[in-house]
Amino acid sequence: MAVTAFHWTNFLIRLVVAFVLVFATYNPSGHSWVHWFIESTNKLDPLIILSAVILFIGWAIYLRATARSLGLFGSLLVVALFGSLIWAMIFYGWLSLDNPSVLGYVALALLSLLLAVGISWSHIRRRITGQIDVDDVETDI
């Protein structure tokens, strides 16, 4: 039987996994898969390829779930919300364009948040509205 309860801890777990996925793929610190691949002399190192496949699987899961739950319009709304949030942070001086790595960290954190909301949206929507999303319906014919 499926677990129907969805709590903040469930969302936080999805958010932490999204952060690991996004920041393991790329981050401004120089310690990421992209940097590892670029700096590697052997681009066909089995560990580089294995980690790329693992990251690709993670991205496929998160992007597919986000696309199915939020859709294009919902994803654009979230991106617009986050874009206006970054704009407000810059406008009011909370975020400076002088240090691009800080802006990069904020953008990557917001991307992680988008993925976490996307993979959790069906649960959140059910809690807010009481409506259930059904992707696959099996019928006994």
Q: Lowest mean pLDDT: which of 6-15, 60-69, 104-113?
A: 6-15
The pLDDT value recorded for residue 58 is: 96
Q: How many CB atoms lie within 10 A of CB 45?
A: 13
pLDDT (average), residues 13-26: 97
- Residue 112 CA to residue 14 CA, distance in Å, equals 9
| pLDDT-based confidence at residue 107 (cuts at 50, 70, 90) | very high
pLDDT at position 128 over 80: no
Question: Per-domain residue ranges for the chain?
Answer: 9-129
The pLDDT value recorded for residue 3 is: 55
- Residue 104 CA to residue 106 CA, distance in Å, equals 5
Q: How many CB atoms lie within 10 A of CB 76?
A: 11
Residue 75 backbone dihedrals phi, psi, to 5 degrees: -65, -40
Per the CB < 8 A criterion, the answer to whether 18 and 116 are in contact is yes
pLDDT at position 135 over 80: no
For residue 109 the two structure tokens come to 């954190």
| pLDDT-based confidence at residue 133 (cuts at 50, 70, 90) | low
Our measurement of the distance from residue 23's CA atom to the centroid of its chain's CA atoms, rounded to an integer in Å, reads: 10
List pLDDT tens digits, range 55-86: 999 999 999 999 998 888 988 999 999 999 99
pTM: 0.82
Query: Which residue did the predictor score with more confidence, 138 or 116?
Result: 116
